[in-house]
């Protein structure tokens, strides 16, 4: 059978530790009604713990169709795939499908088990989750991306993979194919329908003109005050009168570290000139148990109907944990705007802007 190649699927988030670009196989040739064999199911032996299950391994999973999903809980690209994972688990678990979510952290706070446990429960994830805080399972699968799906048949052979968002129908048809191949009967072949909300709603791809942008010095881009001499020490920043698209600036007393921009004192702000329906920010207090109030404006005005799920119509919100917050969701026509996030107090770290 000939193999087709396709560019990396939209929305795959590449790990900073493995920068190589990959190409994935075309996963399903409908006219041949077969799936290419891609090797063996990777090992879970290096998982550091498990949620929702006793420890699993390849032998325990033999006879089951296994979908392995690499995720990290602040990744908006993965969050937009989650409604389908929940739906597939609900529909196909009794027919022989086991989903194994492998949580491999991107940011330091995502290595902390209480955070992962809390977000797993809050996000309604009932399927098994492997804790991969030292990248052991990631390495055994030679994985490079969040989100990434690997699908193995009942004999433990990898038969399908997909990197990034989208192609949900193709993935579900591959699940069905392998379940039928394993002897499942009475399978409902209609595809699932989902009704996502908040951060789980698919991006408005046709109007998306701003990239994921990290605020830490190692991977930052578009920072108008990009001065290496000021990194890793407190510095007083000023926001220029105007920002061009996909640039950002700080105002107030901040320390730009490798991973984040850290606000040291009250009355600081971040501004970003963007073109997208949604604006999200990975953010959190630097001290556990602390909460920080903030206010979001759009072009210097109240956000009104353009407020995201984590702020009110006046743009006000509170951050009490390290997580992804949705600040803006615009109705109607999408144009260039500048979002500004003003913080009442210090003691907060901002990691990354994402858009949708």
pLDDT tens digits for range 82-133: 999 999 999 999 999 999 999 999 999 999 999 999 999 999 999 999 999 9
CATH class, 205-355 region:
mainly beta
Neighbours of 143 (CB within 10 A): 23
Is 9's pLDDT higher than 50? no
Q: What is the pLDDT of residues 206-241, one digit of tens each?
A: 999 999 999 999 999 999 987 777 899 999 999 999
Other Cβ atoms within 10 Å of 220 Cβ, number: 18
The pLDDT score that the predictor gives to residue 229 is: 77
Tell me the per-residue pLDDT of 167-191, one tens digit each, with 9 for 90 and over: 999 999 999 999 999 999 999 999 9
Average confidence (pLDDT) over 44-63: 96
Quick one: pLDDT band at residue 203, thresholds 50, 70, 90? very high
Q: Per-residue pLDDT averaged across 129-156, rounded?
A: 96
Determine the average pLDDT of the residues in 38-44. Answer: 88
Q: Does residue 155 register a pLDDT over 80?
A: yes
In the structure, what pLDDT confidence band is assigned to residue 254 with cuts at 50, 70 and 90? very high
The pLDDT of residue 25:
26
CA atoms within 13 Å, Cβ hemisphere of 208: 14
Thinking of the domain 5-200, which architecture would CATH place it in?
Answer: 3-Layer(aba) Sandwich (3.40)
Q: With helix as H, strand as E and coil as C, how does the chain read?
A: CCCCEECCCCCCEECCCCCCCCCEECCCECCCCECCCCEECCCCCCCCEEECCCCCCHHHHCCCEEEEEEECCCCHHHHCCHHHHHHHHHHHHHHCEEEEEEECCCCHHHHCHHHHHHHHHHCCCCCCEEECCCCHHHHHCCCCEECEEEEECCCCEEEEEEECCCCHHHHHHHHHHHHHHCCCCCCCCCCCCCCCCHHHCCCCHHHCCCCCEECCCCCECCECCCCHHHCCCCEEECCCCCCCCCCEEEEEEEEECCCCEEECCCCEEEEEEECCCEEEEEEEECCCCCCEEEEEEECCEECHHHECCCCCCCCEEEECCCEEEEEEECCCCCCCEEEEEEECCCCEEEEEEEEC
Residue ranges per structural domain of the chain: 5-200, 205-355
Phi, psi of 324 (to 5 degrees): -90, 125
Tokens standing for residue 26:
């075309």
Per-residue confidence (pLDDT) for residue 13, from 0 to 100: 60
**Selected residue with higher pLDDT from 11 and 335:** 335
Question: Rounded to 5 degrees, what angle do the CA atoms 155, 158, 164 make?
Answer: 145
Residue 37: its pLDDT value, please? Answer: 55
| Domains 5-200 and 205-355 fall in the same CATH topology | no
Give the pLDDT confidence of 19-30 residue by residue, as tens digits. 222 222 222 222
What confidence tens digit (pLDDT) does each residue in 264-320 have? 999 999 999 999 999 999 999 999 889 999 999 999 999 999 999 999 999 999 999
Q: What's the pLDDT tens digit per position in 332-345?
A: 999 999 999 999 99
For residue 8, pLDDT over 50 is answered with no
**Mean pLDDT (whole number) for 248-262:** 97
């Amino acid at each position: 059978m000939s193999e087709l190649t396709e560019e990396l699927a939209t929305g795959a988030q590449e790990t900073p530790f493995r920068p190589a670009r990959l190409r994935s196989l075309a996963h399903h040739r409908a006219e041949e009604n077969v799936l290419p064999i891609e090797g063996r199911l990777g090992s879970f032996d290096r998982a550091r713990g498990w949620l929702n299950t006793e420890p699993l391994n390849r032998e325990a999973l033999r006879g089951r169709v296994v979908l392995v999903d690499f995720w990290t809980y602040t990744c908006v690209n993965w969050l937009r795939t989650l409604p389908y994972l929940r739906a597939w688990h609900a529909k196909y678990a009794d027919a022989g499908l086991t989903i194994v979510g492998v949580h491999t952290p991107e940011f330091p706070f995502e290595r902390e088990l209480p955070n992962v446990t809390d977000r797993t429960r809050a996000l309604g994830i009932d399927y098994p989750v492997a804790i991969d805080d030292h990248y052991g399972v990631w390495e055994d699968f030679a994985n490079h991306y969040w989100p990434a799906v690997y699908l193995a048949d009942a004999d433990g052979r990898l038969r399908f993979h997909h990197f990034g968002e989208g192609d949900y129908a193709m993935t579900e048809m591959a699940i069905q194919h392998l379940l039928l191949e394993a002897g499942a009967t009475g399978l409902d072949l209609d595809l699932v329908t989902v009704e996502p909300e908040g951060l789980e709603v698919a991006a408005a791809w046709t109007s998306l003109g701003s990239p994921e942008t990290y605020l830490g010095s190692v991977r930052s881009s578009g920072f108008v005050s990009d001065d290496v001499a000021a990194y890793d020490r407190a510095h007083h920043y000023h926001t220029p009168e105007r920002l061009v698209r996909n640039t950002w600036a700080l105002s107030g007393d901040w320390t730009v570290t490798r991973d984040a921009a850290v606000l040291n004192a009250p009355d600081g702000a971040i501004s970003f000139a963007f073109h997208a329906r949604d604006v999200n920010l990975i953010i959190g207090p630097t001290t556990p148990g602390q909460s920080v109030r903030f206010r979001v404006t759009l072009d210097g005005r109240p956000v009104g109907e353009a407020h995201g799920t984590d702020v009110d119509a006046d743009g006000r919100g509170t951050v009490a944990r390290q997580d992804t917050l949705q600040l803006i969701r615009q109705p109607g026509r999408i144009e260039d705007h500048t979002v500004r996030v003003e913080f009442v107090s210090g003691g907060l770290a901002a990691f990354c802007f994402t858009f949708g």
